[in-house]
Amino acid sequence: MSDLVWPSVRVAGDLDRARVEWIHGNGAGAYASSTVAQMHTRRYHGLLVAALDPPRRRHVVLSHIDATLHTPDKNSELWTHQFPSVPPTGGHRFLTHFAQDPLPRWTFDVNGGQLEQTLALVRGQNAVVVRYVWKGAMPVAGEFRPLLAMRPFHELVREHGAMIQRVELRQYEVAVRPVPTMPRVMFRHRGIFVGSPDWWRRFEYLAEQTRGLAFQEDLWTPGVFRQTLQPDTPVYFVCAVDKLPDKPEDELIHEAAEAIRECDPGSHRPWAVRSLSVAADLFRADLAPSPGVIAGYPWFEVWGRHTLSALPGLYLMTGRVDAARRVVETLVHHIKDGLIPNRLPDDGRPAEYHSVDASLLLFRVAKRMARLMGPADTFVGNVLLPAMTKVFEAFEQGTMDHIHVTADGLLAAGSPGTSLTWMDARVDGVPVTSRAGVPVEIQGLWAQACDTLAWVAGELGQAELAQRAAVRRDQAREAFRKRFWCLATNYPYDVISEASEGPDAWVDARVRPNAVLALAADPDCFSHEQAVAIIARCERDLLTLAGIRTLAPYEPQYRGRYAGGILERDRAYHQGTVWPYLMGALARAVKRAYPDDAGRLGSIRAVAEGMMANHLALGQVPELADGDAPNRPDGCIAHAASVAELLCVFVEELGM
């Protein structure tokens, strides 16, 4: 199965096989993505989706390069597009094979020979190199038409009269600036450019139509590039934002390929570890001026919760400790009122603060980094400890979002109408899964946070802070043991009220995976018997072949399919959908409760390996899947926490 490290698809002209997606990043937030047929099905698809303020402000710049080969008796159009009320155009019929090994590469059988196309994003720059190699007996004439979108990646563009048609020509270079509010787009080539600015109209993106969103777009072209393709001689096209790369094209392609190959730990490691290690590179925006983690592709942005959930797998499992420091420094720089930002909007707006678990996940990361580097490391004392202290003190005093420590030492997460946990989907502004009150996983994270702060502060000589944190830890654990176990379900309550008795007291006994998150975060909140019961319930009612359900299927609110329009999908988002990233918490709980049970750990491995085949994008792990069999994958096509947590499962819990 080692070939799965570098995924490939034998297309043989079959469009159905070519509908699977691929994605490729540049290490700074820019990316390229489409289907294998290069028939865009999402507004987020494009050959250069540039990060104008890396890793944020992503814009679809270059949508397509439509290639046509001309011979005396035949013109072969290699592009595939969906237009209204007609079958897709026929370029896919020439496509025989696609591989991402490690760069996206297409092979077309055409005109008695083969055309090989390779795409590489320039590392750390908003630039793409496309290489064509013709393998045939005689030269062929090629025509290559770039199609530009020039818009934020969440939006669509329609034909308008404000596009500036002016084209600047230099030897082997073309520059256009059709949108004055955006930088120039530069092309480098070795052929002849024929300017013919025009709009190509009514491209349809069928995945957007399925999601109930606008799905038609018009694209603009400055003209066409014409060049004769000699046998076995590479032809290059470079497209860049504002400035062309200085290095030769073959060197840029080599650097992009080597950066990805270096992520592969080698043939001595199992295929799953190798594949996930390669997949992890997509999310790390380490080459950006403000390093960060892209939470997921194609539409997720930089999120604090996802960054800290994914950081151990993306960085610590892959030996990138220095890069992890820079990511953490960027996040803690944004701490406000004790809160890590939940989201750094892609459009450059101010950070959003409405997440309690993002701040608590900082302690999980801090504990791992302090153990790895030693608590005496200057980063621990100068960055991690001050950041943890800010969060702790703010929670003690109460934050702007009403996060506060209760009288019995638990952590209340918000007021009615707010949702400050990872189950934060809303419909008409109202949380679908309202978890205001005292959520179970937040208590596990809170007890673990206090324990971590007590340890680090004690190691660094801050005895008073260490003592206060230890007292809070003990209070939280004692209150948890008294209040959270539900005898009727033999499983913890999902949420309880701040009041423990009287008319304001209530409990939510629905079976969700949040108890598993709490168990993985702080096992000392539970007895061994309770841990065993939680694992058994999860395995029986929540575990699927694609991950773990967000709600047991016998609960009245359960929705087994993530489908329909936006509102219908939002109503199902945490009401039964399966999340691959939750396997990390289950594996940690199982390893602690059953350290010598090879059969149980073997089952974890089998499920985790199977999840990697349940993909939307080659070589990646999706955000979620349907709760009902066959657990169809959905959501974002590549999810940072899913990849990271599965990597932790294989390396740490399974020792692979």
Spatial CB neighbours of 620, under 8 Å, sequence gap ≥ 6: 23, 279, 282, 297, 637, 638, 639, 643
Cα 191 to Cα 199: distance, rounded to the nearest angstrom: 23
Spatial CB neighbours of 598, under 8 Å, sequence gap ≥ 6: none
Torsion of CA 529, 534, 540, 543, to 10 degrees: -140
Do residues 308 and 358 touch, judged by C-beta distance below 8 A? yes
Kindly state the average pLDDT of the residues 176-186.
Answer: 95
Q: How would residue 418 be classed by pLDDT, with cut points 50, 70 and 90?
A: low
| pLDDT, tens digit, 9 for 90 and up, residues 522-554 | 999 999 999 999 999 999 999 999 999 999 999
User: Rg of the chain over CA atoms, in angstroms?
Assistant: 26
Do residues 129 and 122 touch, judged by C-beta distance below 8 A? yes
| pLDDT, tens digit, 9 for 90 and up, residues 518-530 | 999 999 999 999 9
pLDDT recorded at residue 417? 53
Does the pTM surpass 0.85? The reply is yes
Could you tell me the CA-to-CA distances from 593 to 47, 377, 493, 532, 601 in Å, in that order? 47, 32, 20, 7, 11
**Three-state DSSP class for 127?**
strand
Is pLDDT above 60 for 179? yes
Do residues 575 and 551 touch, judged by C-beta distance below 8 A? yes
Q: How would residue 161 be classed by pLDDT, with cut points 50, 70 and 90?
A: confident
Spatial CB neighbours of 264, under 8 Å, sequence gap ≥ 6: 5, 274, 277, 278
Is pLDDT above 90 for 481? yes
Q: How would residue 1 be classed by pLDDT, with cut points 50, 70 and 90?
A: very low
Do residues 49 and 214 touch, judged by C-beta distance below 8 A? no
**Three-state DSSP class for 73?**
coil
| pLDDT, tens digit, 9 for 90 and up, residues 223-258 | 999 999 999 999 999 999 999 999 999 999 999 999
Domains in the chain, CATH or no CATH each: 2-260 (2.70.98), 353-509 (1.50.10.10)
pLDDT recorded at residue 401? 78
* Residue 459, number of CB atoms within 10 A of its CB: 16
Share of the chain above pLDDT 90, in %: 86
Kindly state the average pLDDT of the residues 85-104.
Answer: 96
Q: With 0-12 CB in 10 A as exposed, 13-18 as middle and 19+ as buried, what is 376?
A: exposed
Is pLDDT above 90 for 384? yes
Cα 153 to Cα 610: distance, rounded to the nearest angstrom: 32
Do residues 307 and 331 touch, judged by C-beta distance below 8 A? yes
**Three-state DSSP class for 64?**
strand
Q: Return the structure tokens found at 236.
A: 């290059």
Is pLDDT above 80 for 380? yes
Cα 140 to Cα 642: distance, rounded to the nearest angstrom: 45
Cα 641 to Cα 650: distance, rounded to the nearest angstrom: 14
- H-helix or E-strand spanning residue 370: helix 356-373
The verdict on whether omega for the bond into residue 553 sits within 30 degrees of 0, i.e. cis, is no
pLDDT recorded at residue 3? 56
pLDDT recorded at residue 416? 58
Cα 589 to Cα 517: distance, rounded to the nearest angstrom: 9
Q: Which pairs with CB-CB distance under 8 Å and at least 24 residues apart come from 596-603?
A: 601/653, 601/654
Q: Which of 89-93, 141-145, 189-193, 435-439 has the lowest mean pLDDT?
A: 435-439
pLDDT recorded at residue 2? 43
Q: Return the structure tokens found at 459.
A: 């190691």
| pLDDT, tens digit, 9 for 90 and up, residues 304-350 | 999 999 999 999 999 999 999 999 999 999 999 888 988 888 887 88
Do residues 136 and 128 touch, judged by C-beta distance below 8 A? no
Q: How would residue 555 be classed by pLDDT, with cut points 50, 70 and 90?
A: very high
The verdict on whether omega for the bond into residue 298 sits within 30 degrees of 0, i.e. cis, is yes
> Over the chain, what is the mean pLDDT?
94
- Give the residue among 413, 412, 367, 373 at the shortest CA–CA distance from 387: 367
Cα 152 to Cα 215: distance, rounded to the nearest angstrom: 15
pLDDT recorded at residue 430? 78
Q: How would residue 355 be classed by pLDDT, with cut points 50, 70 and 90?
A: confident
Q: What are phi and psi for residue 515, nearest 5 degrees?
A: -65, -35
